[in-house]
Amino acid sequence: MIQLAIDLAFVLEKAILIGGIISVSLLVAMYSTWAERKVAGFMQDRLGPNRAGPFGLFQPLADGLKLFMKEEIIPNASNKFLFILGPGLAMMTAMMTSAVIPWGKQIEIFGRTVDLQIADINIGILYIFAVLSMGVYGIMIGGWASNNKFSLLAALRGASQMISYELAMGLSIIALLMLTGSLSLKTIVELQSASGGWWNIVYQPLGFLIFIVCAFAECNRTPFDLPEAENELNFGYHQEYSSMKLGFYLFAEYINMFMSSVLMATLYFGGYDIPFVNDASLIESMGMNMVAVLQGLSLFLKAAFFIFVFMWVRWTIPRFRYDQLMHLGWKVMIPLALINMLITAIVVLIKENGWPF
Amino acid sequence: MNITEILFWLLTAVALGGALLVVTSKNPVYSVLALIATFFALSGHYILLNAQFLAVVNLIVYAGAIMVLFLFVIMLMNLNTETEPQKNKWLKLAGTIAGGCFLLVLVAALRDADSKSTMALVGSGDTGLIQNLGKALFNEYVIPFEISSVLFLSAMVGAVVLGKK
């Protein structure tokens, strides 16, 4: 007889946390689609969706229902297993990033102190890069399995674009790591929210600029949405997809957008730190749980702003040509990131050892 | 059984099953995907040994970068089961014998190694953490580390030269 020794309370705690975070992310992604259409409507002087419910708030539900009800077509010449695996992989890698993001400090429930973070691993940022590089597979497998020339071309475009911009993104993060001296996202947030500490955007404005441009490219959003350039490649890598499998690909893009917005807020804008307020004294006056709610709200507001920036850019800037995209990635972004890294390294060294001359 | 043991057996099953699929599957794209699954399982083993940095770098470099290039090449060449050339059966036999000999040498070499008596430290030990790894790389092994970077540079220059032809 094998004895199972599992700390049930711990497993339950993490399961509830994971379930909560995933459903919140899905909800945010769902209403991002609504917000995107509203923002697009505003920018183009229209009303946007306003029929389903007040202000069109039930529009995402109607869209979801439509996608579920549509006929599901799997092309005859496609590789059936990989065709189904593709959107699943895209969705899974989009969700996996949320595991290392600190959503708030701590809450107390039933005498247990629960960290509002699924896993505080000391290599948090590297984990995010590993997951990002997995995101390529969803696109590549889906594009190849469709057995369509346009899909394959779009998938290859998407994959090479993501690989190219990952480099500059990694280099811009290295400069940030030199400042904080830690790879754990929790430590990075705590350093920023400590009294007397500034948000990292103050020290790393150029790094943030590089990071946000690369985040646009990683999410395949305009101006870098070449994988789904509909006027050259019909509909891009998901051309053969229909029904909810198409919905998964489109939805994964919105989840990626939310995750990168949260990441930008965490790395450069203080994460769950409430601006202009000393969190430690707030905990004494309001209690731990109330402050955790406020911190979560603060993080969500910051993320919502970045999601708005994503949409703002989408409806104002036209698409790059492919050679321009590669030129920007390899000849502008990477040298800029290297210069940023060099300057940061010199400043950090001088701060530690004093001016040598 | 505690969580660590359950995870160990699960990861071992995935690693061995994935490695077998790499060799046996007829479609090369399936082989690549199985290899990626194997890398994932190995990274899980590294995490059980508390070597988090090694685990993540394994994923970034091998599963994330090198396998994407593999997939690129295979997809562009469009290898199918029909176009794949059938190997000579004597060649297959020779390959099996060579592989078996390699296994024999490995087993013989590892049988008397003193690492057999020391247990693997599960979930403890901090050699695999990034601070200690960085200190070891940049203090004790700084010269081999820098020389290997020259190797990478020469590979990059070689690629550029080949691309310019």
Closest chain B residue to the Cα of A133, Cα to Cα:
B64
A6·B76 Cβ contact <8 A:
no
Instruction: Note whether B23 and B92 are same-domain residues.
Output: yes
Model pLDDT, residue A341: 92
Cα A87 from Cα A137, distance rounded (Å): 10
Residue B49's identity, in one-letter code, is: L
Q: Does the complex come out with an ipTM higher than 0.90?
A: no
- Check B64 against A3: CB less than 8 A apart: no
Host domain of residue B147: 129-165
For testing the chain B interface, which of A81, A96, A133, A187 should be mutated: the one with the most B CBs within 10 Å?
A: A133
- Mark yes or no for CB contact B75/A144 under 8 Å: yes
The verdict on A130 touching B (C-beta cutoff 8 Å) is yes
pLDDT of residue A5: 63
Same domain, B71 and B145: no
Q: Are residues B86 and B15 in the same domain?
A: yes
What token pair was written down for B49? 């040994």
Chain A hits for B50, Cβ within 8 Å: none
- Do A185 and A266 contact (CB within 8 A), yes or no? yes
Maximum CA pair distance of chain A? 73
- Is the torsion defined by CA of A313, A299, A41, A231 positive or negative? positive
pLDDT tens digits along B106-149: 888 887 776 655 666 666 667 677 888 888 888 889 999 899 99
Does B155 share its domain with B87? Answer: no
Which residues from chain B sit within 8 angstroms of residue A126, using beta carbons? 53, 56-57, 60
Q: Are residues B38 and B63 in the same domain?
A: yes
Which of A7, A11, A100, A127 has the highest number of chain B CBs within 10 A, making it the mutation to test binding with B? A127
Query: Residues A235, A226: contact at Cβ < 8 Å?
Result: no
B58 and B35 both lie in a single domain: yes
Are B64 and A82 an interchain contact pair (Cβ–Cβ within 8 Å)?
no
Nearest CA in chain A to B36: A134
Nearest-angstrom CA–CA distance, B153 and B164: 17
| Cβ separation A136–B64 shorter than 8 A | yes
Q: Which residues of A touch B1 (CB under 8 A)?
A: 2-5
pLDDT tens across A109-118, in order? 777 777 788 8
Name the residue type at position B12: T
- Other beta carbons within 10 Å of A27: 12
Q: How many CB atoms lie within 10 A of CB B43?
A: 24
| B138 and B111 together in one domain | no
Per-residue pLDDT of chain A (357 residues; tens, 9 = 90+): 456 666 777 788 888 889 988 999 999 988 998 999 899 898 888 888 888 888 888 888 888 888 888 888 888 877 888 888 888 888 998 888 888 888 887 777 777 777 788 887 788 888 888 888 888 888 888 888 888 888 888 888 888 888 888 888 989 999 988 888 888 888 888 888 877 778 888 888 899 999 999 999 888 887 887 777 666 666 777 778 888 888 888 888 899 999 999 999 999 888 888 877 777 777 777 777 888 888 888 899 999 999 999 999 988 888 888 888 888 888 999 999 999 999 999 998 888 887 776
Q: Which of B2, B29, B130 sits opposite A183 (nearest CB)?
A: B130
Q: How far B155 CA lies from chain A's nearest CA (Å)?
A: 18
Residue A6: list chain B partners with CB under 8 A. Answer: 2-3
- Residue A269, by phi and psi: left (phi above 0), alpha (psi -120 to 50) or beta? alpha
A276-279, Cβ contacts within 8 angstroms, sequence gap of 24 or more: A278/A195, A279/A105, A279/A193
Q: Which pLDDT does position B83 carry in this prediction? A: 59
Domains of chain B: total: 2
Judged by a CB distance cut-off of 8 A, whether residue A183 touches chain B is yes
For residues B27 and B94, membership in a common domain is answered with yes
Q: What is the DSSP string of chain B?
A: -BHHHHHHHHHHHHHHHHHHHHHH-SSHHHHHHHHHHHHHHHHHHHHHTT-HHHHHHHIIIIIIIIHHHHHHHHHHHT--TTTSPPPPHHHHHHHHHHHHHHHHHHHHHHHT-GGGTSPP--S--STTSHHHHHHHHHHTTHHHHHHHHHHHHHHHHHHHHHHH-
Question: What is the interface size between A and B, counted as CB pairs within 8 Å?
Answer: 66
Q: Are A333 and A166 a contacting pair, CB within 8 Å?
A: no
B153 and B113 both lie in a single domain? no
CATH number at residue B58: 1.20.120.1200
**Which residues does chain B have with pLDDT short of 70?**
1, 78-87, 114-125, 127
Neighbour tally for A248: CB within 10 Å: 24
As a whole number of angstroms, the distance between CA B108 and CA A337 comes to 50
Per-residue model confidence (pLDDT) at position B82? 60
The answer to whether B70 faces chain A, any CB pair under 8 Å, is no
Measured distance CA(A245)–CA(A249) in Å, rounded: 7
Question: What is the per-residue pLDDT for A49?
Answer: 85
Of B1, B52, B53, the CB nearest to A2: B1
- Find, in chain B, the residue whose alpha carbon is nearest to that of A121: B52
CA pair distance A273, A24, nearest whole angstrom: 20
> Chain B closest CA to A348's CA: distance in Å?
18
In contact, A79 and A240? CB cutoff 8 Å: no
